[in-house]
Amino acid sequence: DTEVTQTPKHLVMGMTNKKSLKCEQHMGHRAMYWYKQKAKKPPELMFVYSYEKLSINESVPSRFSPECPNSSLLNLHLHALQPEDSALYLCASSQLVNYGYTFGSGTRLTVV
């Protein structure tokens, strides 16, 4: 299995809602990542988990809360988002820091 699976593919949520994005990989990778991509821009790093511990938080607002329950799963909990948080959210994994990254197909989030 050489895939990173993200669910849901599309999500529309109100500003008072709580929702979660899920990411799963079964490649034995020990690093997992959340990226955010706005339209016509490159992806930007949000969080890095290494060996299930948060190692990088790129000054992301607290309304985004990551969680790594085990080495195969990565969640992103969303609460009280703003319309400007609408974007494509991409999950990725890698064996180690300087090995190739594999990306999921993303969750397209719209905040209304």
Partner 1 sequence: GIQVEQSPPDLILQEGANSTLRCNFSDSVNNLQWFHQNPWGQLINLFYIPSGTKQNGRLSATTVATERYSLLYISSSQTTDSGVYFCAVNTGTASKLTFGTGTRLQVTL
Question: Of the two residues 16 and 51, which places its CB atom closer to partner 1 in the complex?
Answer: 51
Contact 105, 46 (CB under 8 A): no
Is residue 102 involved in binding partner 1 (CB under 8 A)?
A: yes
Is residue 55 involved in binding partner 1 (CB under 8 A)?
A: yes
Instruction: Find the shortest distance in angstroms from Cβ 55 to partner 1.
Output: 6
Instruction: Find the shortest distance in angstroms from Cβ 12 to partner 1.
Output: 16
Torsion of CA 94, 21, 48, 86, to 10 degrees: 110
Is residue 88 involved in binding partner 1 (CB under 8 A)?
A: yes
Instruction: Find the shortest distance in angstroms from Cβ 40 to partner 1.
Output: 8
Is residue 97 involved in binding partner 1 (CB under 8 A)?
A: yes
From 108, 104, 109, 110, select the one nearest 6 (Cα to Cα). Answer: 104
Classify residue 33 as exposed, middle or buried by CB count within 10 Å of its CB (0-12, 13-18, 19+). buried
Is residue 59 involved in binding partner 1 (CB under 8 A)?
A: no
